[in-house]
Structure 1
Amino acid sequence: MERLKRARTTPWPVEDGAPFVLTETGVHGRTLAAVNDAARALGLEPGLRFTDARARVPGLVAEEIDREADALALKRLTLWMTRFSPLTAMDGVDGIRLDVTGCAHLFGGEEAFLVSMKRALEGLGLTPRLGLADSAGAAWALARHGAEPLQRAAPGKAREALAPLPVAALRLEACTVQVLRRFGLTRIGQLYAIERAALARRFRNRMAAQDVLLRLDQALCVRPEPLIPLKSPARFTARISGPEPLLSLSGIEDALSKLLADLTGQLEQAGKGARRFILTGYRSDGTRATVSLTLSRPGRDGRTIAKLFAPRLETMDPGFGIDLMTLTAHGTGPLEAMASALPDGMAVPGADSSETAALADRLNARLGDDLVQVFTAHESHLPDHSEALAPFPGTLAPWPVTGHRTGPRPLIVLDRPELVETIAILPDGPPARFTWRRITRSVARADGPERIGPQWWHGNANGVRARDYYRVEDEDGHRYWLMREGLYDDQRGGTPRWYVCGLFP
């Protein structure tokens, strides 16, 4: 209901204090899915048939519920709640579950933690009910059935806190709750004194009896109930919050500097570096702003990372203010040992891998992640497919030596072979003249052919023609790599076609 109020662009359909409901159509026809306080005061509850609701409240205003939009909004809110704990998960269609172990002290204790969470959610226009206990089941019961919007069970006191609550607070099916009530068991505390075997005998359905015992044990921390987070938390995380929301670029830069000092200290203590860093700002309106940085190799130098982040911080919109920021490290690994560069007179010719990686990082920071690419060897029978572009991995690997003998390969290979017109000696002679890019070139020297047959082992060689490759030199000394696709007598198509595939230096 509150999600709909925030997202609605048209006036609210009823006046304040008037009953309003959301409905959905299911196997039992049209039923109520959600009701406001005014409708609940008139005896309307979710699950009631809409026709019965109209009979009780003539002129009742209703709209169809949008489950997909509600689920998406809940997912976004669950991710936003990682500002309070890295372990968050959706709980049903209207709840969020957090594992806050070790988090409350960051907010001044459990009471202050709940108050901070309540204020943050109220700032989003929501009316939260919060429960804090040793188990997920006990926290669920306190949040949904407690007397106050904020309910906290002290450590080790979940049993006492749950005793006065109704048995429905154990997350039981409605039919199971009805059976318990028939036996006069309306409060959770009444189940404590009953032997487990005697409690199970009260149910004809064995599964219902096991469900009661399971939920009771989970609420009392007898059986574990692990949380599966919506997003796996990063091992290395730094967070910072301030008394006032951040609205300027300089404030974001200062916060990043402090976050980097904390995060790089964690990485140094673990003896690791990271390839990817994600900076997340939690805005006051419930949205998030995120920028990321990817390095060519694991690193943890705070100054370098801050410089690489600088151009991306300009794209980080603080909106109405950022009141919490986190920095996480991903793709961690050991740092490579780096030797200091020798003086100019003593340096060995060749590329310095550390300088190449630093250059790639600067270019990626300006242009975008993984836009710096290098050619890598690609296993292929066809020579023009024997290399491929891939993101720079941090080092320039030596080009592998093929196990079979091939002819010389050009330094420049065209992305796509370009069609040429030729005059050639039949059947397998090199071209005597060819026209490429509207210029006719006479061949002075030629070598070939190097014949490569279809890749029959791939199972799709039908209709594919053999290729003959020639190395030719024109009268001006320019050398080309020409390819003839098809043979004149292969009976696999028409006249063979010639292409320029590459250039020799």
Structure 2
Amino acid sequence: MLLENGAKGLGVAAANEPARQLGVTEGLAFTDARARAPNLVAEDLDPVADAKALAALGDWMIRLSPLVAIDGTDGLILETTGCDHLYGGEHAMMEMLSSLLQRNAISHQLGLAGTPGAASALSRAAPGTCLKEGEEQAGLTDLPVAALRLSADAETLLRRFGLTRIGQLYGIDRRALGRRFQSRSAADAVLLRLDQALGLRHEPLAPLRPMPLRSARLNCPEPIATSEAIKIGLEQLTQEVCEALSATGIGARCFLLTAFRSDGSRSDIAVKAARPVREPKHILRLFRERIDTIDPGFGIDLLLLEAHRTDVMETSPMALSGDLASTDMDAIALSALADRIAARLGEGAVSRVQPRESHMPERAEPQARFDGSVPIPAIPSPTAGPRPIRLLPSPERVTVMAEVPDGPPLRFIWRRVPRTVTRADGPERIAPEWWTHIAAPQTPPALGGQARPWLTPKMDPRADAAQIAHVRADLEAMLDAPSEPVKLLPRARDYYRVEDASGRRYWLFREGLYGDGRGGPPEWYVHGLFA
């Protein structure tokens, strides 16, 4: 049995069937349970671990239905609409699910009905019962009111009124039932659960995973355990999903392949595209790089392929010739190439440069994730010099060994390697963006605990000793008071293109000018590399 701390002390939270036969049930005090069965084995309840295990079981149940939701703290709800025919009907699907859970040593109680509330009530109070749509009212009549997933206070209050069965709530006037509760919200909660179970009100479900717009599944008569068999199954699923997408004129940006193993575990691999696609060859090419990562274990008995992030595809006729095309770049071919690179090197391996107006080179061309659109080329400034092919993520400081005041360094050390400059070109001056560094003027600190005018270095010769002592105290207080950090103004940059003795070309810049009054001596940085 499992124990938890409650308002009345340590009590029984859950008990298995042998403990129930000895009279140990949920809600019983731990001392009473020990008195009835001294040899019982008890452990503390771990709600966090139980929630994780329930969510993992729900993910595994996606093999049967794409919509799986959590029901309380100990149950799952599966939407079987459109899935039962794959298993021979509702009763056959229920039997198959029961045998599947038994093979994995998972204790369970199943119930099937036309509403989530009725199915939850049957699984808790009448396991194994199947109700067709419209039979909820008759099928729930003899079940206890606790099966409606009510709060403990609501159950206690209903028992005090002598209402212990769900059927007893049918003939009671709703207004009269509401008056028996202390608050309107408590009465509305009971009526809401009753209406949801009977199908009078819709009960929204929060699925563990978003519902795919298109999906296809392949049941394997015998568990498969080779990559070649997985590829064959994936080809069949991809063709089926793409035909469904083409019928509605849409494509998908994400495809998720889930392999359900016979031992109850699962393995997922996903591929993403920059723009919506529905070409089977392209999708299979993306999966080809990752199929080997699926571990079949003791065998895979179900494959599921889902299409997510669907959108309308952009279709346009091809130009008769390259001269008539609106652009020299094929956006579809470019997106396909980016998808293959991302599938091999990982998500985020392909990015694009988004031009932005800025004087600073590192801000003028920020990188963004490639979204399938044709990159807009940056318009070079007519006064800007050549730019390197590779720009470093951030400028790296160098140590100058031989410096020329108005020119590039003769020797410098970068990444612990000394380099001798043989040729140089420049400078190209880039002024700082002064409008991004405007700061409000600061008020001088107060002296002597109150605001005073700034002292002038010239003292009145007629001042007495008391005035001089007061001024001296103010000066000492000003010197001892903590000062705010000085904000240095931005400095201009002089860029040079230099070449070392080995033929390597660098894009260097000197930050600051000699005697500009904006800091110490200038500093040198490497910002890019030329081909």
Alignment partner of 1:81 is 2:58: no
Q: Does the 8 Å CA contact 1:471/1:479 hold for their aligned counterparts?
A: no
Return the match for 1:285 from 263, 284, 293.
263
Query: C-alpha deviations, 1:64-109, integer Å up to 9, x for none?
Result: 1222111101011112212222221111111011222222222221
**Alignment partners' CA distance in 2, 1:479 and 1:215:** 74
Cα shift at 1:386 = 2.2
User: Which residue of structure 1 lines up, in the alignment, with residue 446 of structure 2?
Assistant: none
User: Which residue of structure 2 lines up, in the alignment, with residue 410 of structure 1?
Assistant: 387
Cα shift at 1:327 = 0.8
Return the match for 2:97 from 117, 124, 133.
117
TM-score computed with the length of structure 2 as normaliser: 0.81
Aligned residue type for 2:169 = L
Distance 1:481 1:47, change over 3 A: same
**Alignment partners' CA distance in 1, 2:425 and 2:168:** 101
Cα shift at 1:474 = 6.2
**Alignment partners' CA distance in 1, 2:353 and 2:45:** 53
Cα shift at 1:424 = 5.3
User: Which residue of structure 1 lines up, in the alignment, with residue 188 of structure 2?
Assistant: 210
Tell me which moved more, 268-277 or 26-35: 26-35
**Alignment partners' CA distance in 2, 1:445 and 1:190:** 94
User: Which residue of structure 1 lines up, in the alignment, with residue 407 of structure 2?
Assistant: 430
Q: Does the 8 Å CA contact 1:434/1:442 hold for their aligned counterparts?
A: no
User: Which residue of structure 2 lines up, in the alignment, with residue 219 of structure 1?
Assistant: 197
User: Which residue of structure 2 lines up, in the alignment, with residue 466 of structure 1?
Assistant: 491
User: Which residue of structure 2 lines up, in the alignment, with residue 16 of structure 1?
Assistant: none
Distance 1:26 1:187, change over 3 A: closer
Aligned residue type for 1:467 = A
Distance 1:263 1:489, change over 3 A: same
Distance 1:405 1:418, change over 3 A: same
User: Which residue of structure 1 lines up, in the alignment, with residue 238 of structure 2?
Assistant: 260
Aligned residue type for 2:491 = A
Distance 1:413 1:199, change over 3 A: closer
Return the match for 1:99 from 71, 79, 91.
79
Distance 1:137 1:210, change over 3 A: same
**Alignment partners' CA distance in 1, 2:325 and 2:431:** 44
**Alignment partners' CA distance in 2, 1:420 and 1:235:** 59
TM-score computed with the length of structure 1 as normaliser: 0.85
Aligned residue type for 2:214 = F
User: Which residue of structure 2 lines up, in the alignment, with residue 499 of structure 1?
Assistant: 525
User: Which residue of structure 1 lines up, in the alignment, with residue 475 of structure 2?
Assistant: none
Cα shift at 1:262 = 0.9
**Alignment partners' CA distance in 2, 1:282 and 1:176:** 41
Return the match for 2:107 from 127, 146, 158.
127
Aligned residue type for 2:177 = L
Q: Does the 8 Å CA contact 1:467/1:483 hold for their aligned counterparts?
A: no
Return the match for 1:484 from 490, 502, 510.
510
Aligned residue type for 1:117 = L
**Alignment partners' CA distance in 1, 2:500 and 2:156:** 98
Q: Does the 8 Å CA contact 1:29/1:49 hold for their aligned counterparts?
A: yes
1:31-430 residue pairs with structure 2 within 5 A?
Answer: 31-146=11-126, 149-337=127-315, 352-378=330-356, 380-401=358-379, 407-415=384-392, 416-421=395-400, 426=405, 429-430=406-407
Aligned residue type for 1:90 = I
The secondary structure found in structure 2 opposite 1:462 is coil
User: Which residue of structure 2 lines up, in the alignment, with residue 17 of structure 1?
Assistant: none
Distance 1:233 1:432, change over 3 A: closer
Q: Does the 8 Å CA contact 1:71/1:93 hold for their aligned counterparts?
A: yes
Cα shift at 1:283 = 1.7
Q: Percent identity?
A: 43
Distance 1:430 1:80, change over 3 A: same
Cα shift at 1:196 = 2.5
Distance 1:48 1:293, change over 3 A: same
Aligned residue type for 1:62 = A
**Alignment partners' CA distance in 1, 2:185 and 2:320:** 75
Cα shift at 1:202 = 4.1
Cα shift at 1:379 = 5.1
Distance 1:397 1:202, change over 3 A: closer
Query: C-alpha deviations, 1:380-430, integer Å up to 9, x for none?
Result: 44213322344443354132337x77522413344143515265554xx23
Distance 1:347 1:140, change over 3 A: closer
The total of aligned residue pairs comes to 480
The secondary structure found in structure 2 opposite 1:40 is helix
Q: Does the 8 Å CA contact 1:466/1:486 hold for their aligned counterparts?
A: yes
Alignment partner of 1:28 is 2:8: yes
**Alignment partners' CA distance in 1, 2:438 and 2:128:** 66
Distance 1:472 1:84, change over 3 A: closer
Distance 1:150 1:412, change over 3 A: same
**Alignment partners' CA distance in 2, 1:210 and 1:94:** 24
Runs of 5+ unmatched residues, structure 1: 1-20
Runs of 5+ unmatched residues, structure 2: 440-484
**Alignment partners' CA distance in 2, 1:445 and 1:187:** 92
Q: Does the 8 Å CA contact 1:434/1:441 hold for their aligned counterparts?
A: yes
The secondary structure found in structure 2 opposite 1:298 is strand
**Alignment partners' CA distance in 2, 1:438 and 1:495:** 21
User: Which structure: greater strand fraction?
Assistant: 1
**Alignment partners' CA distance in 2, 1:290 and 1:458:** 52
**Alignment partners' CA distance in 1, 2:154 and 2:371:** 59
